[in-house]
Amino acid sequence: MSAPASGNRFANIIGDSEKMQEVFSLIERVCDADTTVLVRGESGTGKELIAQALHFQGVRRDGPFVPVNCGAIPAELLESELFGHEKGAFTHAIRTRMGRFELADGGTVFLDEISEMSPMLQVKLLRVLQERQFERVGGTKTIHSDFRVVAATNRDLEEEVRKGTFREDLYYRLNVIPIESPPLRQRAGDITLLVDHFIGKFTAARRKPINGVSPEVMACLRRYRWPGNVRELENVVERMVILSMGEELTVADLPERLLDEGGGGRSSVAVPTGETVEIPAEGFVLSETVAEFEKKLILQALAQTGWVKNRAAKLLNVNRTTLIEKLKRYEIADPPAVPPE
């Protein structure tokens, strides 16, 4: 893995919200220290990017950055991955192999999903953190390695300690410098920057001439709760770029769940306050005026959704059958470029 491009000190982390400024400030203060750091946050918030920033902006930048996903490696193999093994230590150990701690000499070991580590390995990790030495599986020679540890978790480790699934002494050893990776819903102001970044990334890769998103789409993206955080946003933007037929991402390109969940993407009609409707001296027919206003709203909803009637009905909070009846009543036909449903 190479270091981030120069020019922007945190080139790989997108955001200028207050929450992210706090993260950047903390990274700058501890990146040159050898102290263990625990990055905490929900899945998809970019914990590994924070670990990379700690490494590449610090004095160990010229050393290796060695990531280990403790949750993705079977428990029986994780010990060998971390500490290495000697030839013949177990079945299929046909040659001596260096472990991640040994490979990280002079650099940083990133232990992701640290809470998934077995109790036995937690004991061994505690010793490694205290003494900076270990033995390979099946070996007797003590190996010394100069590494820094950055760990990450999406779980509440205090609760894991209370439940007895995570060692209290290891928790305190890891939690010397805690850094919170904020969820996207707490930094909604960064969504515009992130969307622009991902559009640039995916349009370049797919050579599609997409210039941006409509205001309705951006409003929808900012209202959505993003349970999958930045990773989910990246996947949504990639999907929209792939499926879009125009030069701008519109409401018609949004996944259904963003329109359905939590009111995300459902447009509300803004009625100007402080305005009065001028009633002519001769009066008017209320039902005809209301009908004309309703027709305009239906046309607006259809235009915003690319004339996809299911989505237009959701924007208007009516059943699809109700919308179809109103289309017939107002003699609203599909535009020639859009095939009828």
Question: Any idea which of 64-73, 97-106, 255-264, 292-301 has the lowest mean pLDDT?
Answer: 255-264
**Structure token pair of residue 33:** 């220290």
pLDDT digits (tens, 9 = 90+) for 166-196: 999 999 999 999 999 999 999 999 999 999 9
pLDDT digits (tens, 9 = 90+) for 63-96: 999 999 999 998 888 999 999 888 877 777 778 8
With pLDDT > 70 as the criterion, what percentage of the chain qualifies? 88
Residue 12 is predicted with a pLDDT of 82
In which residue ranges of the chain is CATH 3.40.50.300 found? 18-182
- Using CA atoms, how far residue 181 sits from 48, 50, 139, 229, 254, in Å, is 10, 8, 39, 11, 27
Residue 78 is predicted with a pLDDT of 93
**Structure token pair of residue 50:** 């924070």
Residue 89 is predicted with a pLDDT of 73
In which residue ranges of the chain is CATH 1.10.8.60 found? 185-266
**Structure token pair of residue 162:** 């209370």
Secondary-structure class of domain 278-341 per CATH: mainly alpha
Question: Any idea which of 3-7, 118-122, 143-147, 332-336 has the lowest mean pLDDT?
Answer: 3-7
Asked if residue 180 lies in contact with residue 41, where contact means CB atoms within 8 angstroms, the answer is yes
Residue scoring higher pLDDT (95 or 21): 21
Instruction: Check whether 253 has a pLDDT greater than 80.
Output: yes
Confidence at 337, pLDDT banded by 50, 70, 90: low
Rounded mean pLDDT of 198-206?
88
With pLDDT > 90 as the criterion, what percentage of the chain qualifies? 51
Confidence at 275, pLDDT banded by 50, 70, 90: very low
Residue 190 is predicted with a pLDDT of 95
Residue scoring higher pLDDT (276 or 3): 276
Instruction: Check whether 211 has a pLDDT greater than 60.
Output: yes
Enter the CATH code of domain 18-182: 3.40.50.300
Q: Nearest to residue 128, comparing CAs of 173, 68, 180?
A: 173
Residue 299 is predicted with a pLDDT of 87
Confidence at 204, pLDDT banded by 50, 70, 90: confident
Residue 209 is predicted with a pLDDT of 82
Residue 49 is predicted with a pLDDT of 96
Kindly give the pairing relationship between strand 148-153 and strand 108-112: parallel
In which residue ranges of the chain is CATH 1.10.10.60 found? 278-341
Confidence at 315, pLDDT banded by 50, 70, 90: confident
Q: How far apart are CA 20 and CA 26, in angstroms?
A: 10
Domain 185-266: which topology?
Helicase, Ruva Protein; domain 3 (1.10.8)
Q: Note if the pTM is more than 0.75.
A: no
pLDDT digits (tens, 9 = 90+) for 30-44: 999 999 999 999 999
Q: Classify burial at 282, counting beta carbons within 10 Å of its beta carbon; exposed 0-12, middle 13-18, buried 19 or more.
A: exposed
Computed over every residue of the chain, the mean pLDDT equals 85
Residue 294 is predicted with a pLDDT of 83
